[in-house]
Structure 1
Amino acid sequence: MVTHVQPSDDYFHRDTMSADPFWNESAWFPFYVAERDLSGFVYMNHRPNMNFSMTGVALWDPSGENMWDCIYHDWHEFAPLDLQSDTEMFDYTTPNGLSVSCLEPLKAFSLQYDRDGVRFDLRFDATMDVANSGFPDGSEEWGPHHYEQGGRITGTVEVNNEEIAVDCGSNRDHSWGPRLYKDNPRGDFPWFNDGKGFALQMYNASDLPRDTDPITGTTEKAITGWIQRDGKVANIVQGSRTVLERRADGVPWRLAIEGIDELGRTVRAEGRCKNVLKWVPWARYLQFWSLCEWTLDDGSVQYGEAIEWFPGIQARKFLRSIPVEKRTYR
């Protein structure tokens, strides 16, 4: 794990990059419009030693839950990447109409997209320094180096001839190093951010053997993450994430999280998912990606996400245990 994040870490790590063809530099920028139950993202996975990127955008709400029937989904699997040009981690343009620009390292980014009548004009501004709590044990396949950063996304998206204002908390990340999925465990990435200085991010991985992991009602205890509150950011040292309710098709629909950080601060919340994208960006993994309304112990409400993922073999075993008539939720 990187011990000290510097502005140079928002660029490709050319000096330390190995020759491994699976060297990966990835990042994402999630956003939402809570009153419309609308979610979206800009996501990038650069493979510089293979000279290509997997990158794209998505928009979804309760009207569609799959990559092929959500509001919009454009995932470009083989966008050319030329390290001999001025292409950079957060400075690139792809043939599918996506342009990302780093306006100031560790501070601000521009996210532009224009294709098929869908347009993004978004800006991410950090509301905290980066946090590098790392991955839980057993999740090293995501990459040995990683950090997150809370912020705010503002701007507009245009879809179906309607311009929609976006102004929400966000939580970007950047990971780098060799990435080849083999045995990465099931996990979840719950977070919320008010965009004004109160945020929580957790990474929960199942600590149960894959063959015996019951999934339903499980509490995951292999945890990393952080809490931002009252001007201070501190790593989570203890916590849990429990699925309280799954829909008939297996999607987690109600969750409980608890995190205790190094300063002794505790955050407990119950989350209700407002939508889901059943996302399969890589052949070996299924993700349930949801906008989540988090109600804290004091009754206050925050918005963010719950992102649960499964290795393909485990997902198949779980989903095939559900009766055929219940696998599609409508």
Structure 2
Amino acid sequence: MASTTHLATPEDDARHTPGPGSLPLWNESLWFPFYDPESEVGVVLRAGIHANLGKANLFLFLTHRGTVVHSLIDHRLPVPPVEQGRLEMAGLVIEWLAPRERFRLRYRHGAHAMDVVWQGISPTYLYPHPPGVSFDQYPGHIEQGGAIHGTVTMAGVAHAIDCLGHRDHSWGGERDWAKFHRWNYLSGELGRDFWFNAVRIDFGPETDIRVGCVWDGRELLPLTSIELAVETADGGARQLGVDARLRDERGREYRVVGEEVLVNLPVQYGRTWLKDGITRYRSGDRVGYGILEHGYVEQPGGSVRSMV
């Protein structure tokens, strides 16, 4: 239902540990993307933890003017200790300055570095959760738009950052990338009073899940209809843009067009490809930036099965 306050609790947005009834692929992850059109600097990072497997993973990209300047992908990191308000792995430090509202992101690798503060511009949106089902069995998931200020340094050159961005936080359930037959995830900030999130996950040719939300500057509202026409190339392996038709629970309709993928950031999990495209979005006269994520399980011979 529509909300003007946080849907997630401080405990939801803290670090988590799997319980005795948790699944083998129990997962916790934090994802932060942002793009500054003034400096043309983009950053996407995801820190993931498969605690029951004793493994953590991280992908992090620093981009400038449509080019990847620095990237780190590591699928075999040790599980970081559970510290209150802090997560550290492979040179990345995420600090909870105020749960649900403010985070500090720091990173250093040679001549590349980042030190930014992420500040929420809306309450947190919490995906619906089945009643009576534990988070060990079914994941919790937070979405939120924010504003980012600080510095990103690439090859020793510091770039001032002052832009909008996004984040999500997932925990519990399982994250088995091989079960995601094909999916598209969209998020974008087109002002402090308008951000959106829309997802379609295909588990097979006849089964899909669609979920999302919109912030209108006053309320967070779930989306009741999500239609995504994704333009691709290379046999469906690379996203070029998207025409998204969305409807919120008050019946208001939105058309958001991903006009251009400025840079694509591919990560491979076994046979599953996850490709985060930093994208310029337009909705009417509004222009903003966000992510068009395109994912699929690669078929034998390297083909991509089309979405029904």
Instruction: Label 1:82 to 1:60 Cα distance change in 2 as closer, same or farther (>3 A).
Output: closer
Name the counterpart of 1:253.
240
Aligned AA for 1:311? V
Q: Deviations over 1:193-233 (max 9, x none)?
A: 145121111012247618xxxxxxxxx98421111113111
The question of whether the paired residues in 2 share the 8 Å contact of 1:273 and 1:290 is answered with: no
Instruction: Label 1:209 to 1:310 Cα distance change in 2 as closer, same or farther (>3 A).
Output: same
Name the counterpart of 2:168.
173
Shift of 1:170: 1.7
Name the TM-score, length of structure 2 as normaliser: 0.83
Alignment of 1:172-211 (within 5 A): 172-177=167-172, 178-194=174-190, 196-206=192-202, 209=205
Instruction: Label 1:274 to 1:22 Cα distance change in 2 as closer, same or farther (>3 A).
Output: closer
Is 1:99 aligned with 2:90?
no
Is 1:304 aligned with 2:298?
no
Is 1:46 aligned with 2:49?
yes
Aligned AA for 1:193? E
Shift of 1:43: 1.3
What is the Cα-based RMSD across aligned positions, in Å? 3.0
Q: Select the structure that is richer in helix.
A: 1
- Looking at structure 1, the residues matched to 203 and 78 of structure 2 have their Cα atoms a distance apart, in angstroms, of 38
Name the counterpart of 2:60.
57
Any idea what SS the aligned residue of 2:262 has?
A: coil
Is 1:229 aligned with 2:216?
yes
Any idea what SS the aligned residue of 2:11 has?
A: helix
Name the counterpart of 2:133.
none
Q: 2:155 aligns with which of 141, 160, 163?
A: 160
Instruction: Label 1:125 to 1:209 Cα distance change in 2 as closer, same or farther (>3 A).
Output: same
Deviates more, 1:273-282 or 1:102-111: 273-282
- Looking at structure 1, the residues matched to 223 and 22 of structure 2 have their Cα atoms a distance apart, in angstroms, of 34
Shift of 1:247: 6.4
Aligned length: 293
The question of whether the paired residues in 1 share the 8 Å contact of 2:66 and 2:263 is answered with: no
Q: Deviations over 1:97-138 (max 9, x none)?
A: 211111111111110001121010011111111112359xxx
Any idea what SS the aligned residue of 2:30 has?
A: strand
Instruction: Label 1:194 to 1:278 Cα distance change in 2 as closer, same or farther (>3 A).
Output: closer
Aligned AA for 2:223? I
Instruction: Label 1:195 to 1:105 Cα distance change in 2 as closer, same or farther (>3 A).
Output: farther
- Looking at structure 1, the residues matched to 49 and 105 of structure 2 have their Cα atoms a distance apart, in angstroms, of 16
The question of whether the paired residues in 2 share the 8 Å contact of 1:45 and 1:55 is answered with: yes
Shift of 1:248: 7.8
Is 1:147 aligned with 2:142?
yes
Name the counterpart of 2:83.
87
* Structure 1 stretches lacking a partner, 5+ long: 65-69, 136-141, 211-219, 320-330
The question of whether the paired residues in 2 share the 8 Å contact of 1:143 and 1:179 is answered with: no
Q: 2:74 aligns with which of 67, 76, 83?
A: 76
- Looking at structure 1, the residues matched to 108 and 156 of structure 2 have their Cα atoms a distance apart, in angstroms, of 13
Name the counterpart of 2:258.
271
Instruction: Label 1:209 to 1:19 Cα distance change in 2 as closer, same or farther (>3 A).
Output: closer
Q: Select the structure that is richer in strand.
A: 2
Instruction: Label 1:281 to 1:112 Cα distance change in 2 as closer, same or farther (>3 A).
Output: farther
Name the TM-score, length of structure 1 as normaliser: 0.78
Instruction: Label 1:99 to 1:17 Cα distance change in 2 as closer, same or farther (>3 A).
Output: farther
The question of whether the paired residues in 2 share the 8 Å contact of 1:246 and 1:254 is answered with: no
- Looking at structure 2, the residues matched to 151 and 253 of structure 1 have their Cα atoms a distance apart, in angstroms, of 25
Q: Deviations over 1:70-107 (max 9, x none)?
A: 31111233333354xx535x51222x321111111111
Percent of aligned pairs sharing the same letter:
22
